[in-house]
């Protein structure tokens, strides 16, 4: 738990960093593809020591190939989400909440050799039935986002992984308790392609 909170604190610091350097030499992110896909083997929700875990695939589209790296910029949307098998508990994706909003929040590393880009996801919504039978609703917001950390190779500009984390309060059916979201670190690709997903600074 302590490590998780420290990571969130570091993420918060990158938001400030991204906001404070709008005038640096590299002002924009340049995306080679305007669509993306990430297939998680494990997207985990942990509450009161109980972990629910399912395979989840997310697909999205960007608003353009060139996007300012300013914190708060609406980058695009997650337009589709699908489920695979679950090893513990079960998930239901609330498709009526799609598309989920995708905003840039900051980055880590020094320009131009940044090592990850931080995105916040709002409206991400799941109903989770835990192994013990309790069903909880989670829905992220701008104030309480799901965080995507896109890990970047500064030499090749390739995005090498897309990890998911966050602390989200549940609905009244689970007494508003907060749970943690974690994931494995899949390599995203362009939609309907096995090609990588480079992000350059221009």
End-to-end CA distance of the chain: 37
**Residues 155-199 pLDDT 10s:** 999 999 999 999 999 999 999 999 999 999 999 999 988 888 999
Residue 108 lies in a domain: yes
- The residue range of the domain holding 95 is 2-187
Residue 193 lies in a domain: no
Could you tell me whether strands 28-31 and 66-68 are parallel, antiparallel, or unpaired per DSSP bridges?
antiparallel
DSSP string covering 43-84, please?
EEEEETTEEEEEEEEEEEEES-SEEE--TT-EEEEEEEEEEE
Residue 192 lies in a domain: no
Number of domains in the chain: 1
**Residues 27-75 pLDDT 10s:** 899 999 999 999 999 999 999 889 999 999 999 999 999 999 999 999 9
pLDDT of residue 25: 61
pTM: 0.85
The C-alpha atoms of residue 134 and residue 179 are separated, in whole angstroms, by 13
């Amino acid at each position: 738990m302590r490590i998780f909170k420290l990571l969130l604190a570091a993420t918060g610091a990158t938001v400030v960093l991204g906001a404070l350097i709008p005038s640096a030499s590299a002002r924009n992110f340049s995306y080679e593809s305007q669509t993306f896909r990430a297939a998680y083997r494990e997207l985990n929700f942990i509450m009161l020591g109980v972990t629910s875990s399912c395979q989840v695939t997310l697909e999205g589209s960007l608003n353009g190939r060139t996007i300012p790296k300013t914190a708060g910029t609406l980058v695009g949307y997650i337009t589709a989400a699908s489920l695979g098998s679950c090893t513990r508990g079960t998930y239901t994706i609330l498709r009526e909440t799609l598309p989920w909003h995708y905003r840039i929040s900051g980055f880590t590393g020094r320009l131009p050799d940044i090592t990850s880009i931080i995105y916040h996801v709002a409206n991400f919504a799941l109903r989770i039935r835990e192994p013990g039978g309790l069903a909880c609703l989670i829905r992220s917001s701008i104030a309480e986002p799901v965080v995507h950390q896109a890990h970047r190779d500064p030499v090749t500009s390739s995005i090498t992984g897309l990890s998911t984390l966050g602390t989200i309060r549940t609905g009244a059916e689970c007494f508003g308790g907060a749970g943690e979201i974690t994931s494995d670190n899949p390599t995203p690709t362009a939609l309907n392609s096995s090609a990588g997903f480079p992000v350059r600074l221009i």
